[in-house]
Amino acid sequence: MKIAVFPGDGIGPEVTHEAVRVLQALDLPGLTLFEGDVGGIAYRRHGHPLPPETLEMARAADAVLFGAVGDPSCDGLERHLRPEQAILGLRAELGLFANLRPATTFPGLEGMSALRPEIAAAIDLLIVRELNGDVYFGDKGTRTLDDGQRQGWDMMAYAEGEVRRIAHLAFRAAQGRKRRLVSVDKANVLETSQLWRDVVNELAPEYPGVTLEHMYVDNAAMQLVREPGRFDVIVTGNLFGDILSDQASMCVGSIGLLASASLGERETAFGTFGLYEPIHGSAPDIAGQGRANPMATILSAAMMLRHSFGREADAARIESAVARALADGVRGGDLGGEAGTAAIGDAVLERL
């Protein structure tokens, strides 16, 4: 089990350290960890946020555990040298086309949500966002119109193969959960969305156990705060998924608890190759103080065991250890508590 660990900068190394301790405590057969530089630290050591040796390490691994990047001392650099290019570069170079973000309200934390506690309590959903297409990767530019005005433009496009692979992944995810899939688009206005909807409908007969529903993105945004408990799996394109996944994550409360997986098509001896990271950034305001909550990174390691190594039981053990630590009142600063990074790691390890 070869895992490339890229701690990054800011709180990245602190939270990654705790997740690595948890992985090591599980006695996984043949576990080998390699550490590589990304982000601001990589820029300082190698002159680039994603050095070739780091990329090679990722390619040679079965999965990547990523901390966070975003060193503010790099703010003045050109865009291609900024720390954030490390994560964008890894997603593109490794063909990671599916971003999975579970959002679940942990018992006892309903009050942390921006929603009313009884509404937040019902949240247990997974957003599957397409990551390699849409307006982010289409032709784009700024041109001057005949009347002299400047016009910015970005082309939204999806090929049916791109829709098919993300839809298959979402249907399969729904099969392993509550078997309800909502596909989000804007098919009343966009051609891209109409094709998306047609392709998803074409695949539906292959998944007879999954209930499929289509929803316009504006309505989905509304339903996510009105009745988030109605959702199980949501699948959507890159742009809508970017917005809805941030919205959904805040419906459950703290940023220090939310994990993510980015998956591609590459299969290893164990499962699907993927990159796993907390959804938060490098939190420069608390970096180096031992105050960051490592739970999101620990939960990302659990997702890794589930998706890249087929070790559901180990993943569930980690998740239940985190849930029990929270239920016992172990709270990081992001949850208004006092527990530091290492103390939270210890608390999870004890319960493991």
Three-state SS for 197? helix
285 makes contact with ligand NAI (CB under 6 A): yes
Q: Is 212 helix (H, G, I), strand (E, B) or coil?
A: strand
Question: Is 313 labelled as part of a ligand binding site?
Answer: no
Rounded distance between C-alpha atoms, residue 274 and residue 56, angstroms: 15
Catalytic residue among 186, 276, 314, 334: 186
Asked whether residue 129 is marked as a ligand-binding residue, the answer is: yes
- In this complex, which beta carbon is closest to ligand NAI, that of residue 16 or of residue 272? 16
How does 275-303 read in b/e, with b if 16+ C-beta sit within 10 Å?
bbbbbbbbbbebbeeebbbbbbbbbbbbb
Buried b (16+ CB within 10 A) or exposed e, 321-347: bbbbbbeeebbbbbbeeebbbebbbbb
Q: Is 44 annotated as a binding residue?
A: no
The Cα 38–Cα 71 span in angstroms is 11
- Cα–Cα distance, 10 to 189 (Å, whole number): 42
Does the annotation count 207 as an active-site position?
no
347: annotated binding-site residue?
no
Q: Shortest gap between Cβ of 76 and ligand NAI (angstroms)? A: 13
Residue 292's binding partner among Mg ion, ligand NAI, none (Cβ under 5 to 8 angstroms by kind) is ligand NAI
Q: Judged by CB under 6 A, does residue 255 bind ligand NAI?
A: yes
Judged by beta carbon distances under 5 to 8 A according to partner kind, the member of Mg ion, ligand NAI, none in contact with residue 87 is ligand NAI
Q: Does 337 bind ligand NAI (CB under 6 A)?
A: no
User: Within 13 Å of residue 101, how many CA atoms lie on the same side as its CB?
Assistant: 28
Beta bridge partners of 185: 216
Is residue 262 marked as binding? Answer: no
53 binds, among ligand NAI, Mg ion, none (CB under 5 to 8 A by kind): none
User: Binding pattern to Mg ion, positions 271-310, x when CB under 5 A?
Assistant: ----------------------------------------
If binding is defined by CB under 6 A, does position 286 make contact with ligand NAI?
A: yes
Say whether 140 is catalytic: no
Q: Do residues 100 and 70 lie in contact, with contact meaning Cβ atoms separated by under 8 Å?
A: no
Footprint of ligand NAI on 54-73 (CB under 6 A): 68-70
Active-site residues: which are they? 136, 186, 218, 242, 246
Residues annotated within a binding site = 91, 101, 129, 218, 242, 246, 281-293
